[in-house]
Structure 1
Amino acid sequence: MSAHVMAVTGLRVSSFTSSLASCPSIYQPWNLSLQTSKRGTIHNNLSIKCVAFNDNKVPSQIDLRTNNFEQVKRNSQMALLNSSDPIKILKMIDTIQRLGIEHHFKEEINVQLGKVGDWDVTQDLFGTALQFRLQRHNGWPSCSDVFKKFLDKSGTFKESITNDIWGMLSLYEASYLGAKGEEVLQQAMDFSKAHLHQSLPHLSPELRKLVAKALTLPRHLRMGRLEARNYMEKYSQATNQIPALMELAKLDFAMVQSMHQKELAEISRWWKNLGLVERLGFARDRPAECFLWTVGTFPEPRYSNCRIELTKTICILLVMDDIFDTYGTLEELVLFTEAIKRWDLDAMEQLPEYMKICYMALFNTTHEIAYKIQKEHGQTVVACLKRTEEQERGDNACSIQCLMTENNLSDENVARKHIRQLIQNLWPELNGLAMTTTALPSSVMKASLNMARTAQVIYQHGDDQNTFTVDDYVKTLILTPSSNY
């Protein structure tokens, strides 16, 4: 994994700024002033702020045993295993996954979904769609033909099902797990989306809000940790909540948030000690933003080391991207590329001073990561990491600009709309690949989908300043406690 995928999509979002001023006890902001070089003033159209966590103020990892965590967890697991109502079981699995606590229920979820062939959810649209979505999301075989019973003789969805709003919403959410070539799911998406839009003015305020959110961003495309945080607030007010699940979700979120704070503290300390921002005035200062990408890609607590080391890699690759995009001359870039290919310290002797600084940081960080992997897993990965860095050329032009140039478009909004459609068209391909049997571990496939989800969330609103920004997401997930729920 590398920042290369992010660069292709155009990593151009806001830095972590003073919107976190409400949490001064655990961070210290520092500013980077504009500098002047022989190439002129170094401009960055983003606010250049970073976060340095104060290790003394970051809470120590919560000892969940003192909070009866294991007992709450066992109660929740037994509630799932002991239920015999198929719809109730499906709803409970759905709730567990929305709350972001499925890593505590992997065995129980698999046991229940393994019985799915023996279940009878009758002809109910809501249950059929929910069962299909959960099966497919969790990697169980699921055939889209189950929706054909809702088609009329002409092969279109029956108008009678449009009166079932919950069923239509369930159908809509399930349709986004369709693979390329599954026409009935594409038809289901178009049909349900159109009718849900039409129904909005006639719904209760609460249901209208729920449907509107789904139409803006379906569940399958949402970032897992962010969905968990948002759903906790809603579930805490639900009249039919399962108290044990709510308590477990709060305890787990606090534990994971504490872990993320420690991880970001370590990353911030490493980044500050590296000194690239102070020594290279053009370098982007975004460790918190880079960390958000890794939280989205590897949300489970067990991937702590992966989040830390991947964030370090992304931070340095962003600086390399800046060298190629905005600062280096052609002659210097050729030398830099050759130095990376050679991959030894002697190779940097011909580089200008600012490139030596970046090259040294890249070289040392890569070997530090490789050493940790060798020590913990017995695998040598230097060659693999080196190939990743060779691919980071910094020549990934903005997709919108490319589209406008290639098609002689003058309206950026038209180009953005087209790009969004291209992205939507790619999701069925991703879904299909995720269902294909490969030699890759399922964790790698899951991480790939999670990275796509993170990109979908971060770039969802483009440059609209009236919507959530990366700053807001970091504050929500990492700094703001969930104790109010």
Structure 2
Amino acid sequence: MENEVQRPLADFPVNIWEDIFTSFSNSDLGSDKLKEKHITLKETVKESFMASRANPIENIKFIDTLCRLGVSYHFEKDITDKLEKSFDCLDFNQKIRQERCDLYTVGIVFQVFRQFGFKLSADVFNKFKDEDGKFKAHLVADARGMLTLYEAAQWSTPGEDILDEALAFSNAHLEEISSRSSPHLAIRIKNALKHPFHKGISRIETRKFISYYEAEEKCDSTLLEFAKIDFNLLQMLYRHELACVTRWLPEAPNGIPDSMKHLYRTIIDFYDKLEDELEKQGRSGCGFHLKKSLKSTSNGYMQEVNWLKKDYTAKFDEYKENAILSSAYYAIMGVTFVGMGEVAKLDAFEWLSSHPKIRTAAEIICRFTDDITSYDFEHKREHVATGIDCYMKQFCVSKELAVHGLFNIVSNAWKELNQELMRPHSFLFPFLMRILNLSRIIDVVYRYEDAYTHPEFLKEHIVSLLIENIPI
């Protein structure tokens, strides 16, 4: 037919997982004996954590271990209480600024405080600078200290130049440091350079750190066993949930017409049903905001369709405004709020719809991190101009300079996101963490390759997270 529309087709790779996730059953949720062991170990670990320590810095190091082993969520209130006391203690703040408090210790303390929203001043690193304002050369000999400096710098907020300098300094030396470190430490350093802990997917980082921790001489065997069982139980839960979702898909409506209008209606119908469920839970009004987010995404897509049909390359500022919509991150954030249960009431969705700063930062991270790594694949077919194309047009620069420009935009957005995680919070912390974790997923999936399109780049992560359990 003469008027038949020819869609630009992409050469997407085949599904490497097939139906593997539908094979998981309820029996995979763990034995009662294992769950009882988990409860017993949890109480033992809590007793150890709550036991009075003369040095509060040792408490914070223990908290860091709990976080990296992925079990800190069991003790969040106790952790926050301890950190509040130390953060407000003049003696503690003086102690970490003393010369005998080394780089490794200061780096851990800084990370832990910021991870829980306490904005410890970056001036704690001033003592590690020489008279010329540069980080002291002898620090390079401290492998663990350099690693914690690098990890601490990931928590930079706008205007913290010393953390930018710390990142550049540590990044310049860590590769060489890893080559002369023990195999155990070298692996940790290389992993941090590839995926910093703050920007990694929490459960994947947990899986890695359990291996690191097991190799340490001062490993707490009880804590290690608790972390392993906790990881395996959560993995079983993820398997069960994924199996339920995967089995639901074949039951979805078949034969949906190609017409976008009908597809849109089908999605809206689904959201209507979701809204009914929310109202039954006493969460009336939430569905309105979910549909609002979907319509916002749809408007962004339609604008891109119009630009493609007109062969129009927007100015970067114009592209950025629309790209935030077409990233679909607003809609995704809203859906994740639904999964939080009754805590996510109407006020949470109203807050998200008000376009808080943390949402804007996350949308920028999502859109432009994606644009950078998916550029070559998308240009193998007819495609709307991407962020790189629009940046090149507006600023009359090469592709390489455009990529550099987008990297800087993403880096600044991470700083803005970090700032919004600091107290006092604009909204309840669990909701801020949802947005942070979505940004972490983007960083892992798109940092080096478009792993969303090419799943082989995520295969190792999927296997460790969902398929292979940890031997106990």
Q: Does TM, normalized by the shorter one, top 0.5?
A: yes
User: In the alignment, is residue 363 of structure 1 matched against residue 246 of structure 2?
Assistant: no
Q: Distance in 2 between matches of 1:52 and 1:163?
A: 47
Matches within 5 A, 1:235-314: 235-275=213-253, 279=255
Instruction: Find 1:81's aligned residue among 25, 44, 50.
Output: 50
Listed one character per residue, the Cα deviations across residues 76-135 of structure 1 (whole Å, up to 9, x for unaligned) are 111112151444322321121112111111133223323423544543211112111101
Q: CA RMSD, aligned part only? A: 3.0
Q: Distance in 2 between matches of 1:153 and 1:52?
A: 60
| Other-structure match for 2:467 | 479
Conserved 8 A contact 1:461-1:467: no
Conserved 8 A contact 2:184-2:212: no
| Other-structure match for 2:418 | 431
Offset, 1:177: 0.7
User: In the alignment, is residue 380 of structure 1 matched against residue 285 of structure 2?
Assistant: yes
User: In the alignment, is residue 213 of structure 1 matched against residue 191 of structure 2?
Assistant: yes
Q: Which moved more, 1:199-208 or 1:455-464?
A: 199-208
| Other-structure match for 1:114 | 84
Query: Against the structure 1 CA distance between its residues 141 and 426, is the aligned structure 2 distance closer, same or farther, given a 3 Å change threshold?
Result: closer
Listed one character per residue, the Cα deviations across residues 431-473 of structure 1 (whole Å, up to 9, x for unaligned) are 1122253442111211111111110000122158999623443
Aligned residue type for 1:133? Q
| Number of residue equivalences | 375
Secondary structure, counterpart of 1:45 in structure 2: coil
Q: Distance in 2 between matches of 1:273 and 1:371?
A: 20
Instruction: Find 1:201's aligned residue among 179, 195, 198.
Output: 179
Conserved 8 A contact 2:420-2:426: no
Q: Greater RCO between the two (CA within 8 Å, min separation 6)?
A: 1
| Other-structure match for 2:40 | 71
Instruction: Find 1:454's aligned residue among 429, 441, 464.
Output: 441
Listed one character per residue, the Cα deviations across residues 146-186 of structure 1 (whole Å, up to 9, x for unaligned) are 11122223322222323222112111111111111012222
Query: Against the structure 1 CA distance between its residues 87 and 355, is the aligned structure 2 distance closer, same or farther, given a 3 Å change threshold?
Result: same
Matches within 5 A, 1:334-345: none
Listed one character per residue, the Cα deviations across residues 196-247 of structure 1 (whole Å, up to 9, x for unaligned) are 2443433333322222222222211111111112222222333321112111
Query: Against the structure 1 CA distance between its residues 255 and 66, is the aligned structure 2 distance closer, same or farther, given a 3 Å change threshold?
Result: closer
Q: Distance in 2 between matches of 1:466 and 1:377?
A: 41
Structure 1: unaligned runs, 5 residues or longer: 1-36, 281-351
Q: Which moved more, 1:161-170 or 1:114-123?
A: 114-123
Offset, 1:425: 3.0
Secondary structure, counterpart of 2:27 in structure 1: coil
Q: Sequence identity of aligned pairs in percent?
A: 25
Offset, 1:136: 0.9
Secondary structure, counterpart of 2:421 in structure 1: helix
Q: Distance in 2 between matches of 1:54 and 1:208?
A: 38
| Other-structure match for 2:126 | 148
| Other-structure match for 1:299 | none
User: In the alignment, is residue 188 of structure 1 matched against residue 158 of structure 2?
Assistant: no
User: In the alignment, is residue 94 of structure 1 matched against residue 64 of structure 2?
Assistant: yes
Conserved 8 A contact 1:58-1:261: no
Conserved 8 A contact 1:178-1:431: yes
Secondary structure, counterpart of 1:371 in structure 2: helix
Instruction: Find 1:61's aligned residue among 15, 26, 29.
Output: 29
Q: Distance in 2 between matches of 1:159 and 1:169?
A: 15
Aligned residue type for 2:442? A
Structure 2: unaligned runs, 5 residues or longer: 305-322, 327-369, 373-385
Q: Distance in 2 between matches of 1:438 and 1:99?
A: 26
Query: Against the structure 1 CA distance between its residues 261 and 205, is the aligned structure 2 distance closer, same or farther, given a 3 Å change threshold?
Result: closer
Q: Distance in 1 between matches of 2:14 and 2:262?
A: 20
| Other-structure match for 1:404 | 389
Secondary structure, counterpart of 1:435 in structure 2: coil
| Other-structure match for 2:200 | 222
Q: Distance in 1 between matches of 2:435 and 2:450?
A: 25
Q: Distance in 1 between matches of 2:187 and 2:398?
A: 31
Conserved 8 A contact 1:52-1:269: no
Instruction: Find 1:47's aligned residue among 9, 13, 27.
Output: 13
